Amino acid sequence: ENIKYFNEDINNFKTKKKFDYIFFIDVFLFFFDKKFQKKLNKNNVKIIKKISNFLNKDGKILIMDPSLFWLTPFFGGKQNPFGIVTEYKSKHLSTIPSLSEYSDLFFECKLKIDRIFEPIMDKKDKNFNLRTYNFYNMFPQWHVFLLSK
């Protein structure tokens, strides 16, 4: 009853209401995509500042995005799989921002990082595919940022 969902173009969104939480799930990485999201990338500071103005005094922004290891090919045995990372700071294929790129944007928008965490797989998933389970727990596929003003 106390939850409201909005699915609108942020450039056109207007409200006087302040929010306790604003969520970005699997979308924030596109703010850094200079190739396919030029307009979003060019205006990322303006957009994030606008969004942060919708927070109440103690409000939080939660961002959950794929990590650097998302879509990393992995090899090896079931117990000790390993991955091959081919890019991080210089991108040719990936749209995943570096930690510095995230941090720089948050800093420029006057947002504070309260916490960063990396969810791991549930133990029940161990029975599905042991190699995948072990790789994803050694190299988490997601990272979560909790931000405040």
Band of the pLDDT at 1, cuts 50, 70, 90? low
| Beta strand spans in 68-123 (E) | 74-75, 82-83, 112-117
For residues 22 and 55, the answer to whether their CB atoms sit within 8 Å is yes
43 DSSP 8-state letter: T
- Per-residue pLDDT reduced to its tens digit, 66-89: 998 988 999 999 999 999 988 888
Q: How many CA atoms are closer than 13 Å to the CA of 99, on its beta-carbon side?
A: 9
- Per-residue pLDDT reduced to its tens digit, 89-130: 887 776 788 899 999 999 999 999 999 999 998 998 888 899
| Beta strand spans in the chain (E) | 19-25, 55-66, 74-75, 82-83, 112-117, 142-148
Please give the structure tokens belonging to residue 79. 């117990």
Average pLDDT rounded to a whole number, residues 59-67 = 96
Place of tokens 């009853």: 1
